[in-house]
Amino acid sequence: MKPSSILALAPFLGVACAQPTENKPPRFDVVAVSEGPVQYYALAQSSSFFYLGQGDGNTDSFCPPKIEKAGRCPPGKDTVLKDAHTLDTVVPGQIIYVDSNYAVRATGPNSGADDEDKDDIDVSTSDGFKHIPGDQSGQWDYQADGVDGFLACPYNNGIYQVYVNSADAKPPRGQKLDTCVPFTAGTVEYKLPANATAAAWQY
Ligand SMILES: *[C@@H]1O[C@H](CO)[C@@H](O)[C@H](O)[C@H]1NC(C)=O
């Protein structure tokens, strides 16, 4: 995330929310904006889970070697959403959902339909994700029965794992729920390089 993106989030400081406008960003990065341990940490996808960490380099993405050889890999460095519950990828179908521990997850590429048959994946939970676009910055949110917003739970080395804010959330490694902090997820439009069609090949 560029410093200019962080500046765009500045209005969040001490302010509840930017006014929604018609200016809907086609794709966006997510950054925690609440004051506290995760402030300005960027959302990063890794092995189907989502994390908040300081700086870049926490996102895991994949680009096939033959595409890389041809110099046609998308940037792949940031975790970018193309709408409230879909990762922005060349290979379609990475849907964001909530698992049975209330962790925020994403389905694998090309596997959304198959994954729906697996017990642990309930893609209908995707409906709770909302993106409220703003002028400079917007907000990503989660609202469902008994669940309001997001939680950051300590993972390791200053990295936090992302959950939805449920009293039944089960943080990593049996940690207590009160080690987690609620946070507001700000969004900033992601500018795609002119030669790319998505932010990553796949995550
Ligand atoms: C776009 O151009 C850059 C620089 O030449 C290159 O590294 C990158 O792989 C290209 N991306 C695509 C999707 O063609």
Domain containing residue 36: CATH number:
2.80.10
Q: 73 near 92, Cβ under 8 Å?
A: no
In a domain, 88, yes or no: yes
In a domain, 115, yes or no: yes
Q: What is the reported pLDDT for 190?
A: 95
In a domain, 114, yes or no: yes
Nearest to 154 by CA among 38, 32, 47: 38
Instruction: Give the pTM.
Output: 0.86
Residue nearest to ligand 1 atom 3, measured at CA? 71
Residue 20 reports pLDDT greater than 50:
no
Residue of 195, 197, 201, 202 with the most ligand 1 atoms within 8 Å of its CB, for mutation: 195
Ligand 1: lining residues by beta carbon, under 6 Å: 71-74, 193, 195-196
Residue 185 reports pLDDT greater than 50:
yes
Structure-model confidence comparison of residues 43 and 9, the more confident one: 43
Domain that holds residue 129: 3-15+26-189
- Between the CA of 73 and the centroid of ligand 1 the distance, in Å, is 6
Structure-model confidence comparison of residues 16 and 184, the more confident one: 184
- Between the CA of 68 and the centroid of ligand 1 the distance, in Å, is 9
Nearest to 49 by CA among 113, 124, 127, 102: 102
For 155-178, the pLDDT digits (tens) are 999 999 999 999 999 999 999 999
In a domain, 148, yes or no: yes
Q: 151 near 180, Cβ under 8 Å?
A: yes
* Percentage of residues in the chain having pLDDT higher than 70: 82
Three-state SS letters, 77-121: CCCEEEECCEECECCCCCEEEECCCCEEEECCCCCHHHHCCCCCC
Phi, psi torsion values for 65, nearest 5 degrees: -55, -40
For 79-125, the pLDDT digits (tens) are 999 999 999 999 999 999 999 999 999 999 865 455 555 657 888 99
In a domain, 203, yes or no: no
- Between the CA of 30 and the centroid of ligand 1 the distance, in Å, is 23
> What CA–CA distance (Å, rounded) separates 154 from 92?
31
In a domain, 200, yes or no: no
Q: 38 near 158, Cβ under 8 Å?
A: no
- Between the CA of 71 and the centroid of ligand 1 the distance, in Å, is 6
Nearest to 134 by CA among 28, 21, 6: 21
Residue of 67, 72, 202 with the most ligand 1 atoms within 8 Å of its CB, for mutation: 72
> What CA–CA distance (Å, rounded) separates 168 from 97?
16
Q: How many domains does the chain have?
A: 1
